[in-house]
Chains A and B, each alone.
Chain A
Amino acid sequence: MNRYLKLVNFELGRFIKVYLVLIVITIIVQVTGIIVKANEYLAQADKAIYEDLMPQSQFIEQYGQMSFLNFARSLWFMGPIALCAAALAFYIFLIWYRDWFGKNTFIYRLLMLPTARINVFFAKATSIFLMVLGLVSVQLILLPLESTILKWVVPTDFRVDLALSEIIKFDYLAILVPQSFIEFILYYGAGFMVVSVLFTAILFERSYKWKGILMGIGYTLLSIVIFAMPVLLMIVFNQDYLYPLEMLAVETFLGIVVLAASIWMSDFLLKKKVTV
């Protein structure tokens, strides 16, 4: 356990500079974005009211009041989130491959540590999980700050104020910020399962090279089929066999099966098949 925690700390340390850059980009772009979007709206209002002599009530009726969601739908808000998501998705692969390639083959050191090799897998998965949680936390801290900036810039008559609890129900934010503990377990558990399946696919490739690429793709497809089986069956037979709650229970069970299979397979590959 101790060595696992040290490995997690070590893995986090290796990505910390890029991670901090991602956080800084998110803060700068989103804070700039809320100011730009708010000023755009006000400029539009100024033009309509002072140049085109449109009554304020008509402007609001025609263009609507500005709310945080106007900003949340813009590239200023979604762009940094997409960038962070893409960076972490890329990092799922980089976190393994960088240890094999290059002049300094760190994988030698990792595989020769006096600890179960599966701890390397868990440490890498945990560090990605923690990074996701960290970025979501930063976003949660930014939301009220951005909401306050909106209030400073846009006068009360021209805006609709939304509480944080309302903002996080918006579209994709509802997935990033689960509304309950059950949702947290479901969304982040599914995320952890996806990361584990991809890690297993990478380890297939690292164990069997060219054949391993096919095995990795096959394993990933098989995992998708198993996990999506209830949904696929419903589509194929065009019938709702299960109530939503039953569906949730079956999906949770299948998710656990896929996750457990990935961990078992990765443990086997790391112990018996992996090649430096």
Chain B
Amino acid sequence: MIEVKDIKKKFGRKKVLDGVSFTANKGEITCLIGINGVGKTTILNAIMALTPLNKGEILINGEKLNKHSFEKVTFIPDAITMLPQMTIADAMQFMQDFYKTWNQERATELLGFFRLEETEKIASLSKGNTAKINLLLGLALDVDFLLMDEPFSGIDIFSREQIAEVFTSHLVEGRGVIITTHEVHDIEHLIDKVVLLDNGVVLKEFNSEEVRENEGKSVVDVMREVYHK
């Protein structure tokens, strides 16, 4: 389980996170929703210790993040994190060299699934293919948790469908996923838990299935209620 406990973060004088708390469980897809600039990416960066917090604590399986945590949790940012001169094969080799949890079989499967060529250079990839490679490099690790930052942002409809398909496949099964988005339509049916954010605080945290069954509301319906209040 990932526990985010009362985290606070300021950029200059601006409070970006003002006491955010939530949990994300293994085997669940947790979606952080909010408009741009609400602090979604900052939360993911903070979980990976890529930005320091002013206050609060984040625990991964009960432990603070350490070097071994990177074999258990991986972050898929919305920008490619490999060097432009690398080919896809080089990028995969890099991951294999450094991560014990790299699963080459799964990487090859994903390569086929996304119809990507190993010889393609990172620099020449389209926005959609960049998102797919990011996803491939993250999903091919045998980790407990995947953090995904805006995986659908700025990509074409076909790539979106392909990426959404991944969420329903065995590739994600059993793992915990935290995904940030401000476009919830593509994955509404896949989400287990929703955390609605605004002005640096959690406005509402709910189980989407329960809300659907008990109240007959979709995630978008709840969002309308909360954000239009």
Interface residues of chain A, those whose CB is within 8 Å of chain B, are 3, 6, 10, 14, 102-106, 108-109, 111-117, 207, 271-276
| Separation of A272 and B100 alpha carbons in the complex (Å) | 25
Would you mind naming 5 contact pairs between A and B with Cβ atoms under 8 Å apart? A6-B97, A104-B79, A106-B83, A114-B71, A117-B67
B226 on interface, CB distance cutoff 8 Å: no
Residue of A nearest to B99 (CB): A114
Report A-chain residues with C-beta under 8 Å of the C-beta of B71: 114
> B13 on the interface (CB 8 Å rule)?
no
Pair A116/B52 contact, Cβ less than 8 Å: no
CA distance A115 to B97 in the complex (A): 12
Whether B98 lies near A114 (C-beta < 8 A) is yes
Q: With the chains together, A108 CA to B74 CA distance in Å? A: 11
Rounded to whole Å, the gap between the CB of B47 and the closest CB of chain A is: 11
By the criterion CB–CB under 8 Å, are A3 and B49 in contact? no
Which residues of B does A touch, CB under 8 Å?
A: 45, 48-52, 67-68, 70-71, 74-75, 77, 79-84, 94, 97-100, 122-123
Q: Which of A10, A105, A112, A207 has the most CB of B within 10 A?
A: A112
Docked Cα-Cα span, A273 to B50, in Å, equals 8
CB distance from B10 to the nearest CB of A (A): 12
CB distance from A106 to the nearest CB of B (A): 6
Cβ–Cβ contact A104 & B50, under 8 A = no
Assembly CA distance A202 to B131 (angstroms): 31
The distance from the CB of B62 to the nearest CB of chain A, in whole angstroms, is 18
Residues of B within 8 A of A117 (CB): 67
Q: Are B50 and A114 closer than 8 Å at their CB atoms?
A: no
CB-CB < 8 A to A3: which residues of B? 98
A104 touches B98 (CB 8 A): no
What residues of chain B lie closer than 8 Å to A6, measured between beta carbons?
97-98
Task: Give B73's nearest chain A residue, CB to CB.
Answer: A112
Q: List chain A residues, Cβ under 8 A from B75.
A: 108, 112
Q: For residue A14, which residues in chain B have a CB less than 8 angstroms away from its CB?
A: 83
When the two chains form the complex, which single residue of A116, A207, A272 contacts B67, counting CB atoms closer than 8 Å?
A116
CB-nearest residue of chain B relative to A270? B49
Once the chains bind, are B51 and A104 in contact (CB under 8 Å)?
A: no
A276 near B45 with CB under 8 A, answer yes
Whether B50 contacts A106 by the Cβ 8 Å rule is: no
